Amino acid sequence: MAGSSARFAVRRILCVGRNYAAHAREMGADLREPPFFFTKPADAVCDSGTAVPYPSLTGNLHHEVELVVAIGTGGADIAAGAALAHVWGYGVGIDLTRRDLQNAAKAKGHPWDWGKAFDLSAPCGPLTPAAAIGSLVDARIELTVNGTVRQSATTADMIWSVPEIIAAASTAIRLEPGDLIYTGTPEGVGPVVAGDRMDASIAGLEPLWIKLT
Ligand code: MN
């Protein structure tokens, strides 16, 4: 939690696939699809400043900067119009992806887990309470690698808004306090290698950085 030594008790991690049009296009996807989700284990979260060992089994590890929504109040079948009342706060996350394993899984119709849900695959910066921040509907979202901008967009480019994502997820499962939702990444994803430093930011939120070792 930003400005505090208290830690947000992470329960589950949900992630939205393809939620920015230009990124969906760069992945060759259909923009008209309803939102879909995959998950990561709760202990995939790691803090800003973590030294992340380059993961096993991959030669094509990708960064994906994302707005993270932290659920504070549970519910099922939440209406989009009521969804923001379920949000405790927001943070900056990176959905680390073993792209080669994800692409192989897609090609075979296999689950994405080994491409997405590996150890330390969900770096997350400090969470700021929703009440303490302004609007995030048109906020600059950016990721640099070793100081070079790789991803730079606005959250206004999200295909599905935060309320729509919460509404959609809560039709499938009951959301509970502690659930984190990674809301998808804008265009510009790409590979990182051992030694690279990633800095991720969203205007109005605490930044996140990690270093690959
Ligand atoms: Mn992602």
What is the average per-residue pLDDT within 127-145?
A: 95
Place of tokens 């969906």: 24
Whole-number Å distance, alpha carbon 141 to ligand 1 midpoint, is: 13
Sheet strands (E) in 72-170: 87-94, 97-98, 122-123, 128-129, 140-145, 148-154
Whole-number Å distance, alpha carbon 16 to ligand 1 midpoint, is: 6
Whole-number Å distance, alpha carbon 78 to ligand 1 midpoint, is: 23
Geometric angle at alpha carbon 124, from 80 and 117, rounded to 5° = 85
What is the average per-residue pLDDT within 193-198?
A: 98
Helix (H) or strand (E) holding 108, with range, is helix 99-108
pLDDT of res. 76: 98
Whole-number Å distance, alpha carbon 185 to ligand 1 midpoint, is: 5
Of 203, 138, 153, residue with least CA distance to 22: 153
What is the average per-residue pLDDT within 128-154?
A: 96
Q: In the structure, what pLDDT confidence band is assigned to residue 77 with cuts at 50, 70 and 90? A: very high
Could you tell me the pTM of the whole model?
Answer: 0.97
Whole-number Å distance, alpha carbon 120 to ligand 1 midpoint, is: 14
pLDDT of res. 196: 98
Burial 2-38 (b: 16+ CB within 10 A, else e): eeeeeebebebbbbbbbbbbebbeebeeeeeeebeeb
pLDDT of res. 29: 81
Residue 63 has pLDDT above 80, yes or no: yes
Whole-number Å distance, alpha carbon 64 to ligand 1 midpoint, is: 6
Share of residues in the chain with pLDDT > 90 (%): 92
Q: Does domain 12-212 correspond to CATH entry 3.40.630.30?
A: no
| Residue 76 contacts residue 170 (beta carbons within 8 Å) | yes
Whole-number Å distance, alpha carbon 28 to ligand 1 midpoint, is: 15
SS3 of residue 46 by DSSP: strand
What is the average per-residue pLDDT within 143-153?
A: 98
Whole-number Å distance, alpha carbon 51 to ligand 1 midpoint, is: 20
Q: Where are the domains of the chain?
A: 12-212
pLDDT of res. 139: 97
Whole-number Å distance, alpha carbon 96 to ligand 1 midpoint, is: 8
Q: In the structure, what pLDDT confidence band is assigned to residue 72 with cuts at 50, 70 and 90? A: very high
pLDDT of res. 25: 86
Whole-number Å distance, alpha carbon 89 to ligand 1 midpoint, is: 19
Q: What is the pLDDT of residues 2-61, one digit of tens each?
A: 999 999 999 999 999 989 988 888 888 877 778 999 999 999 999 999 999 999 999 999
Of 136, 154, 105, 145, residue with least CA distance to 205: 136
Tokens linked to 39: 């998950």
Whole-number Å distance, alpha carbon 23 to ligand 1 midpoint, is: 10
pLDDT of res. 201: 98
Chain centroid, CA 32 distance in Å: 21
What is the average per-residue pLDDT within 78-96?
A: 98
Whole-number Å distance, alpha carbon 112 to ligand 1 midpoint, is: 12
